[in-house]
Structures are given as C-alpha cells and as structure tokens.
Amino acid sequence: MLDPDPRRAVGARTVLLCAFAFVLALFAGVFAQLLVHFIAFFTNLAFYGKLSFANAAPAGHHLGLFVLAIPVIGGLVVGVLARYGSAAIRGHGIPEAMERVLEHASRIPARIMILKPLSAAISIGTGGPFGAEGPIIATGSALGSVLGQLVPVTANERKTLLAAGAAAGMAAIFGSPVSAVLLAVELLLFELSPRTLIPVSLAAATAAAVRIALVGAAPVFPMAVPTVPNTAAMALYVAMGALVGVLSVAVTRAVYAVEDAFEKLPIHWMWWPALGGIAVGIVGYLEPRTMGVGYDNIEQIVAGEIAGRALALLVALKFISWVIALGSGTSGGTLAPLFTLGGGVGALLGGLLAAAFPTLGIDPRMGALVGMAAMFAGASRALLASIVFAFETTRQPVGLLPLLGGCTAAYLMASLLMRQSIMTVKIERRGVVVPVSFAADVLEQMTVREHATADVTVLLRESLLGEIRTRLVEGDLTTSHQGFPVVDGAGALCGVVTRREIMSIAHADDASVASLIVRPAVVAFAESPLRVAVDIMASEGVGRLPVVTRDAPTRIVGILTRSDVLRAYRRNAHDDRRSEPRLAKGFRVTRTLE
C-alpha cells in the first residue's frame, strides 16, 4: 500500500535545500561584490583611462564632448553579447527570472551566470543609468537554477533554489536580507510555505553576512533621524504615497512605450542599445550624475543634501536617460532608478509642503524615504518588500509608519490604474499568466472526511466476475461511483477495480475479482486535507481513492472520486461555510456485494 499522505511541512528534503542554499548564498555574496568591482573597473577604464577596481563614478570625468561616445560604445558591446551570446541578458533581470519560474520549470541556461553580469558591468560601467541589483538578482537566480539542474531536485525545489539565489543577490548588494526574502516571495515564489521560506531566508541571511565581512555593516543609504510625524504629517505622507503610485504607473507605461517604439525600428535589435546609448550620452553630458549606478544620488536625496531646482533637474534627466536606455533592451536594473525617481519626487513634494505648511512637521527627508519606497511598491507591486527595504537600507524605524501608509496608498492607486506591473508587462505580452494574489488553497482547508462518499460498495476478492456482471447489467447494483474497493474475508483492503475492468471481455466469467487487481491500493486518509488526495490522484493517474483512517489503514470508510472533488469546489464557490462531514462517525461500509 502506497503512503497516502507523503507531504510534510518540512523534512529531510528541506534540510538538503538549506545546505544547497547556504553554499549558493556564499557564491552569490562573492559574485555581488565582484560585479560591483567590475562595474568600477569599466567605469575607470571608460571615463578615466586607467586600469583600476577602485570605486569610481562617471560624474567626475573630464572628457567633455567625448563622453557622448562612451555609452554608445558600451551599447554596441552589449548588443553583440546579446546577439551572439544570449538574448536573455537583455532587460532588467527580474521579469526574465519570473518567466523562467512560470514557464520553464525554473531552468535558466548556465551561460547567463557569466553573460548577464559581464554585460551589466559593461553597460553600467560605460554610463548606463542602472543599478547593480537587477543584474546580480538575475545572476543569483541563474546560480540557483543551474545548481537545481545539476543536483536531483524537483521543479518546485529548483524554484526554491532560484529564489534563494535571487534573494542572496539582493541581500549581498543592499544588506537587506528581510526585504530580499519578501521580494522573492512576492515576485518569484508566488507562495509562502515553510519548505520555500526556510531555504530562501537562510540564503538571504548568509549573503548579508558575506556582505558584512567584505564591506562592513553600515546601511547603504545612511540618513539622520527624521522628524517624528504627527497626525497631520502622516495624512500628507499617505497622500504623497498615493500620488507617487499614480506616477509609478506613468513611469511603467513610459518604459514600455519606448520599448514599443524601438520594436518598430527597421534595424536588428542588436543595434538598439547603441541607439539608447546616444540618449544616455547626451543626458550625461548635461547632468553627469545621471550616469552609472547612482547609489550616491539616492544617499544624498534621503539625507537632504540635494534639493530644489538641482534635484528636479536630476530627477527629470535621470528619468529620460533611464527610460530610453531600458527601452532599448540593454542590460541593466530597475530598482536603483526607481528609488532615485521616487526619492526625488518625495523630497520635492516634502520640501514644498514643509514651506507651505511649516507648522505641520513635514520633513523632506521623510518625504524622500516614503517616495522612494512608494515608487517601487507601485511599479513592482512588491508592497511588503518595498516597506522593509526602505527601513533596512536606512535603519530609521521612525519611518516605518509613514512607509506603511505611503506604500499601501501607492500600491492601491497603481493597482486601480494598471493591472500589470513594470515586472510583468513584458512577460504577460508573451502569454505568461502571472499570479496576482496568494490566496490560500481551498483544498487545503477541506478534509477528505468532509467530502468523500460514505455509501461505498465493496467487493470480496473471491467473488466471481460473472455474478458481478449480472448484477450490474440487471440494475440490481446501483452505485454513485464507478470504482469498487476489493477486500478479503476479514474486510482488509486489497485493491481497487473499475466497472470497465469488470465488464471487459478479456476476463472470463469464472475468474475472481482478485484476478483484476494489478497494483497496490492507493488510498487517502480521512483526516488528510483534500489537496493531498487530489495530488495523489494526479500523480498516480487514478480517478478515485478508497478512504481509510490512520488508526485502521486497511479498513474502508468511504471513497473519494473526482466528482466529489468538483462538488467540493462548487460548494466552496457558492457557500463560504464549512460543509458538514459526509462520513458517519462510526465509519461503516453500508454494502458489501458478494
């Protein structure tokens, strides 16, 4: 008899995945820092003409008009890598990882581990207005997926490793392990269960520890303690979040409008990144701070060091440069640009409100923090990740309440105005169905006992087929199920036969019912969730399961058919109340056909 309830919340497989996730996180943590250093290398080479891995930003260059050519050259190199290496390196990483989870059993080609970080380092190092987080998330995803293809794991376990790699990459870049886990749950796992949450959390914590060992424990975006908001200020922060949510929809539509415009060009997509590089170069010439990862811009915005006209110009030009570059299909990320745009808008709104209503206690730095997170929440629909990310990267607990209100308002407005997010538009256009909610499985909330049929007819294994056939033909035997459990003289379950097998001419009338049994009985426990029974039906290819109890695993107490499962679905759709158990407490078989 097969194990009727093989699922457990955690077990030996979870421990094995944790071991894989730990090793994976070590590599992802190192890869993240290598990517940062390679971005610095290409930045030094392109803008300063020197071979160095020291941290550098394009804004300090002295190239003059020659700066216009640097992003174009970088775009050409990325285009060649995409054309002759892998087209999967195009884009900002997270949507591609989502598509692999949803459509390709979480399988990512191994070459992406090399080509994605290399192309991103070249793109960003030559002035691309992107952050390093998208490429390293994609690289971490590829590491997890490749590991899941090398070791014997299931598709779900491979998905867990892919998500663990993505979370490790984000934690290694930003030192934000909790928000990395939430991002993995909201955008990659599409579930929240112990078997996935434990390995992913371990990977994020490990990668964050690697970051501490390599670069220290300081927050990525340090800021002074902002003013504690009063009731009026809270209301304005929420309103600010709602406005930023509307802007996030506009930003999303702009990105894909530009991408659609590139699709109409009469030239191969390999050349598009170079064309996008022209816009990056022109904008970079006007405002050098728009080029490169721009983490220092975010730090200065939340610290209140950029304000007024200078901030407005930075936000506007960063938006133009990033939208055109990303729409061209080059390799880069979305998180840092979204944080820059949202933080800048929030700081500007906060400054205007503080000047107009000085007695309300509005702090432009808090406005920047709320705007930064709200923009990401509205654009990505990763609500919880956005809130926690802003806290982890600034270590300012006083901002948690404004963040909760502002991000929720942004999430609401963006969801009302646009069904897709910046992460899903592209893949939904390809026909990929992306889950939009994490509702509990209704089958997990029902038991087999509640929906199995108690009025079950069983056959004795010694009965002759001729006698059973006569009873069926004459209508003397009427049942609500087409499968019959077979028992021995002591009432112990031996197997299951179907009406079709009984009526088959391949078996003589004088043959016994026992001669039809060709496999061990596959059963369901009365105490198990209905989901367990459905999974067993699917994996074993059967349409009915005898129901037994754990105390007496060979005694029939009912039968569960596909019709019973569909009836449970219909009942749940029309009535939220739990149905009464259909099996009597005595667990008796009502008829035995001899």
pLDDT at 305: 93
Instruction: Determine the Cα–Cα distance for residues 534 and 441; give it in Å rounded to an integer.
Output: 12
- Residue 491 confidence (pLDDT) above 90: no
CB count within 10 Å of CB 562 equals 14
Q: State which of 165-169, 331-335, 485-489, 511-515 shows the largest mean pLDDT.
A: 165-169
Give the C-alpha separation, 139 to 141, whole Å. 5
Supply the pLDDT for residue 594: 52
Instruction: Specify the pLDDT at position 60.
Output: 84
What per-residue confidence (pLDDT) applies to 362?
Answer: 92
**Residue-level pLDDT at 475:** 64
User: In the predicted model, what is the mean pLDDT of residues 63-71?
Assistant: 92
Higher pLDDT among residues 345 and 8, named by residue:
345
Q: Is the dihedral of CA 198, 204, 205, 206 positive or negative?
A: positive
Question: What's the rounded Cα separation, in Å, for the pair 318 and 224?
Answer: 25
Question: What mean pLDDT is reported for the chain?
Answer: 87
**What CA–CA distance (Å, rounded) separates 402 from 302?**
14
Inter-residue contact 295 to 361 (CB < 8 Å): no
Pick the CATH number of 442-593 from 3.20.20.10, 3.40.50.1370, 3.10.580.10, 2.60.120.960: 3.10.580.10
The single-letter DSSP state of residue 45 is I
| Domain boundaries, given as residue ranges, for the chain | 12-215, 231-429, 442-593
- Tell me: pLDDT of 562 over 70: yes
Average pLDDT over residues 236-261: 95
pLDDT value at position 6?
Answer: 46
Grouping H, G, I as helix, E, B as strand and the rest as coil, residue 206 is helix
**pTM of the predicted structure, to 2 decimals:** 0.83
In which region does residue 98 sit, left (phi positive, over 0), alpha (psi from -120 to 50) or beta (all else)? alpha
**Of the given ranges (84-98, 321-335, 408-422), which has the lowest mean pLDDT?**
84-98
The pLDDT of residue 473 is 74
Worst-scoring range by mean pLDDT, 73-82, 98-107, 194-203, 220-229? 98-107
Helix axis angle, 400-417 relative to 383-394, nearest 10°? 150
pLDDT band for position 456 (cuts 50, 70, 90): confident
457-460 vs 524-525, strand pairing mode: unpaired
Q: What is the pLDDT of residue 476?
A: 64
| pLDDT confidence band for 561 (50 / 70 / 90) | confident
Q: pLDDT tens, 274-311?
A: 999 999 999 999 999 999 888 999 999 999 999 899 99
Architecture of domain 231-429: Orthogonal Bundle (1.10)
- Looking at the chain, the whole-number percentage of residues with pLDDT higher than 70 is 93
CB distance 517 to 495 below 8 Å: yes
Q: In the predicted model, what is the mean pLDDT of residues 227-244? A: 95
Mean pLDDT is lowest, of 259-263, 317-321, 425-429, for 425-429
Q: What is the reported pLDDT for 97?
A: 81
Asked if pLDDT for residue 22 goes beyond 60, the answer is: yes
Given a cut of 70, whether residue 34 has pLDDT beyond it is yes
Tell whether the model's pLDDT for residue 505 goes beyond 60: yes
How many percent of the chain have pLDDT more than 90? Answer: 51
pLDDT classification of 574: cutoffs 50, 70, 90:
low
| 464 three-state secondary structure | strand
- 12-215: CATH class: mainly alpha
- pLDDT for the residue numbered 479: 64
Fold: same for 12-215 and 442-593: no
User: Can you give the pLDDT at residue 99?
Assistant: 83
Which residue bears the tokens 């890869």? 31
Residues 6 or more apart whose Cβ sits within 8 Å of residue 99: 427, 430, 432
Rg (CA), the chain: 30
Q: Let me know: does 533 contact 448? Beta carbons within 8 Å.
A: yes
The more confidently predicted of residues 203 and 361 is 203
What kind and span of H or E run contains 181?
A: helix 177-184
Tell me what pLDDT residue 77 has: 95
Beta-sheet strand order (sheet of 493-498): 493-498, 483-487, 457-460, 591-593
Q: Report how far residue 177's alpha carbon sits from residue 11's, in angstroms, rounded to the nearest whole number.
A: 24
* pLDDT for the residue numbered 434: 82
Over residues 223-242, the mean pLDDT reads 93
Q: What is the mean pLDDT of residues 515-521?
A: 81
Query: What pLDDT score was predicted for residue 584?
Result: 47
Q: Are strands 457-460 and 591-593 parallel, antiparallel or unpaired?
A: parallel
Span 170-208, pLDDT tens digits: 999 999 999 999 999 998 888 888 889 999 999 999 999
